[in-house]
Structure 1
C-alpha cells in the first residue's frame, strides 16, 4: 500500500461475516427459483445495507450453493480473496435457521471465546446477519445453512486461531459488517475529523474505545452522545495525545479487558503483533494481589483474557479488575503528562462492565450519562 495515497480514496471492504450472510442469501434466492444475480444486498448491524458482488452459485431441487470472495479493501489481511461459501437446504415449511461451519471454518475447543466449546467459530454478530439476510428470502422456513471456506484451514495457520484453541479453519467475524482501513496512516487521516467533530460539538469529555463493541456499550448502555465516542482502534497513545492537543479535558477509556489491560501495563499501541502481554500483566497483578500459585497456573491455561477474567469473577476477585482499570487510567494520565484526566471501564465481550475506577464513575455521573453495572 502506498503511504502517499490520497486519504479520500481509501477503499472499505467487507467482513467474512458479511460474505457469509451474502452467500447464504444468494443460495436462498437460487433455492427459491431465482436466477443467479451479479450482486446481493444484505442488512448490516447498524441498520444500513451492503451490496457485494457474487462469485458464483448453483442449485438443484433441494440444495443451493453460492460464494463470495472476501474483500478487505485497503485493509487487506490474510482472509482477503478467500472464497466464502454457503450451502443451503430447506428442512421444513416452518422452523428456525440452523447455522454451522463446514470445511475451512474452525471449531472452538477452549473456553473464553464468544462461542461455546464444540461450536463452529461463527461469531454472534455474523450469525445474526446470516439469519436476517436469509429471512429476507425465506421468512419462516426451517433451513440448514453450512458456511465453508475451502482454503480456510491453511489460512488459519497464519492467524491467532491455533493459540486460541480454534482448530480446523478460520473464524467468521465482524461486528459492523464493514472493514474500514485501519493501517496507521489511513487511521490517522480518517479518525481525526471525528475528534475535531467532538470538539466542535463542545465536548470537553469524550470516550475512547478500541472498536464497535465499545462504541455500542458507550452509546446504548451509558447513553453517551454519539459524537463524543471515538473508535481509536489500536492507537491509544496517539488518540490521547491528539485529544489533549485539542483541549479535551477528560477521557474515559472503554473497551474489552483484553485490549485495555495492555494500557494497565503501559502499552499504548495495542495491536497483538506489537505487544501481546495480556496474560503476563494479568498474572503479575494477580500474584501481587495474593492469588495463590495453583490458581495462577490455572489462569495461565486460558487462551483468552475473557476466559481468565470470568474465572477471576467466579473466584470473587473483582477488586483486582478494578485495580487494573485504575492502573490503566494512571498510565494514560502519565502518558499525557497530566494534561488529561482519565477514567477506565473494562468490559467482557457481552459489553458487561467488570472493572472500573472511581474516576470513570465520577465522569459518567458528572456528564449526566447512565451508570449501570447490571448484566
Structure 2
C-alpha cells in the first residue's frame, strides 16, 4: 500500500483523518444536544462503526430559521482529500412522534438523481453508514432512545468542490456526498476514488448499459468515448486502479468492456500490474523489449528498446522502425484483463492512445 510505502520513505507515520460522515455525525449530535436544552458543547464524542470513540471540536453553533445548528471543520489528516478543511454543518429540528430520523440535503450536499447507488433517486446523498452513525449519536444524546428528528446536512462551498469529483457522472447533483464506511480516512488509500469507480459501475448497470469504457486518464477517456460514441454514464475513470475496477466488474459484469489508456500505463497493465501508479514501480523495459522481439523485432532494435529510459522513448524508436509496438502492448494488456475478469462473461477490447488522443494500438474484442 502507498500508505506503508510513504511511511518507509519519511520514517514517520502519516496522520489519519475523519470522513465527512464522522464530522457530520459530531455536528448533528452537538446540534441535538443544544435542541435538548444543553449548553452548546465545545466538543462531542461519537461512536464509529468499529467501536472507536473519537472526540470532535465544535467550531461554531447557532440558530438557522429558529433551529439549532453546529459545525465541524473536517480534518482529513495527511490525505489529499478535497474536502479537507471544509465546514460541515448539521441543523436539527424535532418531528412528530413516530417520524423517526429523516435526512435532508442543505447547501453543498448533493441529491441522488439516478438509480444504482446505495440510495434511491430523490434522496440526499448521505450514505447509509453516516446515516447509521448519526442515528447512533442521537440515541446517545437522548438517553438511549432514538428521537424523532430532521437532520439537514450542509457543506460550505460543497457545490464548487463537487465539480472536482465524479458526482455528476454518478447522478449526484448539486453538491458533495456525505461518505464514510469506517469513519476514518487512511492517508493515500484513495478509498473515495475506488468507491466512485464501483458506484459508476452500479449506475451504468442500473441504467441497462451494455458497453462500458474504463480509462486511465482524461485523454484516453475522451478518445474512447468519441470512438464508440458512448454516453457519459458508460465511462469509468479508473485511473491507476485497474485492479479495483476489474475485480469489482468480475463480481458485477457487463456484456462488453473497453479498456483505454496511455502507452506507459497499458504497458504496465500488460506486465501484470493492476496498480498502475508510478510509485508502485516503472515499466519493465527488458520485458517490453522481449514483447517486441516476439513480434519479430530485430535483435539490434530489441537491445535498443531494452535500454530506453522510458516507454515513450521506446515507442518512438519502434514507430520509426515501423514496428506496431502499440498493438503488442494492447495484446499483452488484453491478456491481463481477461485473466483478471475470469470467469465473468464479458467481451473485452483494449485501446492504446498517445498523448494527442490517437489510437496507436488495439486488441480484441475477445471473450474470456
Contact 1:176 1:212 in 2 (8 A): no
What is aligned with 1:173? Answer: 179
> Post-superposition, which runs of at least 4 consecutive aligned residues in structure 1 deviate over 6 A?
264-267, 275-284, 334-337, 353-356
1:49 aligns with 2:47: no
Contact 1:105 1:170 in 2 (8 A): yes
Q: 2:233 aligns with which of 288, 291, 302?
A: 302
CA distance in 2, matches of 1:46, 1:127: 15
What is aligned with 2:15? Answer: 11
Cα 1:279–1:123 change in 2 (3 A) is: farther
CA distance in 2, matches of 1:127, 1:355: 36
Secondary structure at the aligned position of 2:55 is classed as strand
Describe the superposition over 1:167-207 as per-residue Cα deviations: whole angstroms up to 9, x where unpaired: 2211111222111111xxxx7xxxxxxxxxxxxxxxxxxxx
CA distance in 1, matches of 2:253, 2:101: 39
CA distance in 2, matches of 1:354, 1:46: 33
Describe the superposition over 1:233-275 as per-residue Cα deviations: whole angstroms up to 9, x where unpaired: 99xxxxxxxxxxxxxxxxxxxx94969xxxx9998xx7xxx57
Describe the superposition over 1:307-334 as per-residue Cα deviations: whole angstroms up to 9, x where unpaired: xx9xxx9xx975658xxxxxxxx95747
CA displacement at 1:212 relative to structure 2: 9.5
User: Which of the two has higher C-alpha Rg?
Assistant: 2
Where does 1:1-375 land on structure 2 (aligned, <5 Å)? 6-58=10-62, 63-138=67-142, 139-182=145-188, 211=191, 256=198, 300-302=231-233, 333=272, 344=340
CA displacement at 1:153 relative to structure 2: 1.6
Where in structure 2 are there 5+ consecutive unaligned residues?
1-5, 202-211, 238-244, 258-268, 274-282, 288-335, 347-368
CA distance in 1, matches of 2:340, 2:84: 34
CA displacement at 1:161 relative to structure 2: 2.5
Contact 1:21 1:126 in 2 (8 A): yes
Secondary structure at the aligned position of 2:54 is classed as strand
CA distance in 2, matches of 1:59, 1:281: 50
Normalised to the residue count of structure 1, the TM-score between the two structures is 0.53
Cα 1:213–1:282 change in 2 (3 A) is: same
Describe the superposition over 1:214-250 as per-residue Cα deviations: whole angstroms up to 9, x where unpaired: 9xxxxxxxxxxxxxxxxxx99xxxxxxxxxxxxxxxx
- Aligned residue pairs, count: 253
Cα 1:87–1:317 change in 2 (3 A) is: closer
Describe the superposition over 1:255-306 as per-residue Cα deviations: whole angstroms up to 9, x where unpaired: 94969xxxx9998xx7xxx57968988999xxxxxxxxxxx86x73526659
Where in structure 1 are there 5+ consecutive unaligned residues?
188-209, 215-232, 235-254, 285-295, 322-329, 347-352, 357-375
CA distance in 2, matches of 1:300, 1:121: 23
CA distance in 1, matches of 2:65, 2:107: 23
